Every structure is written in structure tokens, then in C-alpha cells.
Amino acid sequence: MRVPFTFGKLVDEDDYTNRVVESKRLISNFKSSINTILISPRRWGKSSLVYKAAGQVQKQSDDIVVCMIDLFNIRTEEEFYKLLATKVLQVSATKLDTILENAGHFLGRFIPNLSFSPDPGADLKLSLNWDEVKKEPDDILDLAENVAKKIKKSIVICVDEFQNIAAFDDPLSFQKKLRAHWQLHHNVSYCLYGSKRHMLMEVFSSPSMPFYKFGDLIFMEKIKEKEWVEFITKRFKDTGKSINTENAAEIARYCENHSYYVQQLAQQAWLRTAKHCGSEIIKDAFEDLILQLSMLFQQLTDELSVKQVNFLNALVNNEDQVSSQKVLKKYNLGTSANVVKIKKILNDKEIIDIVGRKIEFLDPLYRNWLKKYYFN
């Protein structure tokens, strides 16, 4: 029997949970050629949401082509241009001859080598003359717009891990080049997202940055407990097992509605269930999950300074005024200026998330581990 809960990979239609509002907004933006920036902490389901919206748009309209690009392993401008050109050429046509024709027509002076395996689903192998590209990358940055005009369709380019452009030699200059070209495109729209919220916030929310007000800014929120309860109870029922609404809510609460962990804990509870899933099964599954992650959490904690760990201890104990003299003294945090530095470091390390005056752990299970096993 297929396990009815998915985590750690893209979620298909049956395993997808809610996100109705965000899906409708994304689909509307894709159809209207509106640029979109999608921001949330990692493991909240951004990629699955984008893939779901892209799939629905392509089912509903023959006039829209979606191009998916992942910058996960991209660290240089050269790699970016090569990947962008490759992916756009791949969606420019379905026939090999036409793809090769488009490559020669639009990028002939840049391409010393291009090959395409005859095997179904094989990747296009593209080499670029970097000396030529770096002199004048305009043709590559405008490739999607030119292809869209030729095929008389709109193209939506979805770029995952967009924050990786910060690793380029001159990221600010590169962003200026992208913005200068992409803002002029009428037949291409862009959906930009990634797994490091604080870096994306800096790129898209700062008035001094090139991509400020580039498009519709969507901040994903956690899926509500009520929606998790409906999803979990249904998935159990669909597979011949049962769980009542209170126990399903218990799964969501243990994980503080964190999408990745709710799916993982629900899966572990489901695997332990013969017929009905109760509180003891959920509790045991949660404790096992924490223990499975304990080595990772220990390593993460060992890499922190004493004062950074002390600060996390204050958060675990729900201290609201972390810069007050009382808290500074109680947890040996030094000065209030030092607390500011600690918060920045922990935010950059993606251990905490700071929204206004509110500070939260990005990983709710790490918080639980600290409280139960490290500080206790």
C-alpha cells in the first residue's frame, strides 16, 4: 500500500494540502503575465505550490508555456546563463530540429557546442562561449522574450533558489542587468522564490535593491490546524485506517503546523497504525522522530558560541524581553548590542526567524529537542 503522506520531495496532486488561496493567486498571475515573488521559510512547500500552479495553468491554457529553473547548484554568472539558455530552448519547441534551429537563430554566436540525446526526457547539452557572453549577455537575457514572440505564446519562468545569485562575483551588478532586461519583457513573466527567506527579503523588500517592487510579493503562511485535520483524517480514511479529529490535530500541534514535519509525523504515525491511530502512537512516533534528528541537532548546537546557545535557551523559556537587563544577566548574554549581533547571526544561519519584534525557531523540532534533551 502506498504511504499517503509525502515530505522531502515535490508533492503530487493527491498528497497536496490546501494552499487554495495561494494557488489561485499564482495561477492568476501566471495567466496575466504578472511577475511573482514567493517568500516563506524553507520546507513550507513553496516548490510544490509552484509546480502545482504551473501544472494547472498548462492544463487550462495552450497559450502558456512554463519553464522551470533551479539554481540549487549554480554559483557563477556563466553557469546561470548556460542554465537559462538551456531551459528556455528546451521549452521553445517539442521537436529536436526546431530546438536546434532556435538555438542557432537566437544564440548562434554564443554556442560552440550543442547536442541532444535521442533518449526520451534526456537533457539538452549546451556549451557557451563565455568570452562572448560576458561581453554582451543581452541575447541570453532576452532569449525567452524572443522565443515567446516566435512561438506566439506567453512564457512563465519559475526560478527556484533565486537567492543563490548572492554567491556571484558581483551580485548587485548582476541583479541590475537582470532587472534592466526582465522589466521590459511583455511576453514573459517571472516567478522567483527560494529557501532562504531573510536573503530574499533583502533582495525584494529593500528600496535600494534592483528587484524592489519587481512583482506581486506573496508571503506564505503556515497551513492552519483545521486544514491539516481535514487532510490527515481523509488520508487515513482513504487507506483503510482511522484517526479522529483530536488526534489529527495533535499531529499538527506537535509540529506547530510546519508542513514538512506534519507530513513526516503523520507518515510515521500512519506506519505504526494497524486500524486506529491514537495519542500513544502519535507520541511514540514524535519521540522517535526527535531522536532520529538528535545527532543533526547536536552538531548544529555544537557549532554555536556559548552566548548564542544561551540566547536560544532564553527563547525556549519564552523570554519576551531578551534585551532587558534581567534577561541579559540571567542568561549571560552580555550587552543589548551583543544580543543584536546574536540575533543577526542566528537569523543568517536560519535557526531563528525574525518578523518585526517576534522571534521564532524556524525548526519547531529543534526547539523541542533543545527544551527536552539539551537544556533539561
Q: Do residue 119 and residue 268 come from a single domain? A: no
Q: Choose between 3 and 293: higher pLDDT.
A: 293
pLDDT at 129: 82
C-alpha cell at 143: 532569449
**CATH for 250:** 1.10.8.60
Can you give the residue range of the structural domain that contains 206? 20-219
Beta strands in the chain (DSSP E): 36-39, 64-70, 113-116, 124-127, 154-160, 188-193, 216-219, 242-243, 276-277, 352-355, 358-361
Is the domain of 254 the same as that of 295?
Answer: yes
Query: Quick one: pLDDT at residue 120?
Result: 46
Q: Are strands 154-160 and 64-70 parallel, antiparallel or unpaired?
A: parallel
In terms of domains, do 335 and 292 share one? Answer: no
Q: Which of 258, 274, 299 is the last residue of a domain?
A: 299
pLDDT attached to residue 298:
97
**pLDDT, tens digit, for every residue of 357-372?**
889 899 999 999 999 9
Banded pLDDT at 18 (limits 50, 70, 90): low
Please give the mean pLDDT across all residues of the chain: 89
Tell me: pLDDT of 105 over 80: yes
Q: Is the pLDDT assigned to residue 74 strictly greater than 60? A: yes
Q: With left for phi above 0 and alpha for psi between -120 and 50, is residue 213 left, alpha or beta?
A: left
Asked whether residue 168 is domain-assigned, the answer is: yes
Co-location of 66 and 142 in the same domain: yes
User: Residue 66 falls within a domain, yes or no?
Assistant: yes
Instruction: For 313-339, write each residue's pLDDT tens digit.
Output: 999 999 989 999 999 999 999 999 999
Quick: pLDDT tens for 201-213. 888 888 889 999 8
For residues 264 and 164, membership in a common domain is answered with no
Evaluate whether residue 137 is within a structural domain: yes
Boundary of a domain, candidates 262, 282, 299: 299
| 50 is a domain residue | yes
Q: 320 lies in a domain? A: yes
Residue 318: the pLDDT is 93
Give the chain's largest Cα–Cα span.
72
Find the range with the poorest average confidence among 132-141, 184-193, 261-270. 132-141
67 lies in the same domain as 178: yes
Is residue 310 situated within a structural domain? yes
Buried b / exposed e over 248-275, threshold 16 CB at 10 Å, is bbbbbebbbbbbbbbbbbbbbbbeebee
286 in the same domain as 246: yes
The pLDDT of residue 40 is: 82
Interval 226-252 mean pLDDT: 95
Residue 173 identity (one-letter amino acid): S
Q: How many structural domains compose the chain?
A: 3
Q: Of 181, 196, 219, which residue is a domain's last?
A: 219
Question: Are residue 82 and residue 193 in the same domain, yes or no?
Answer: yes
| pLDDT for the residue numbered 17 | 60
Average pLDDT over residues 19-39: 91
Buried/exposed 281-312: b ≥16 CB within 10 Å, e otherwise = bbeebbeebbeebeeebeebbeebeebbbbbb
152 and 31, same structural domain? yes
Same domain as 106, residue 64: yes
Kindly report the CATH number assigned to the domain that includes residue 130. Answer: 3.40.50.300
Higher pLDDT: 346 or 104? It is 346
Same domain, 287 and 187: no
| Domain presence at residue 1 | no
User: Are 325 and 287 in the same domain?
Assistant: no
Classify residue 8: in a domain, yes or no: no
Q: Does 15 score more than 80 pLDDT?
A: no
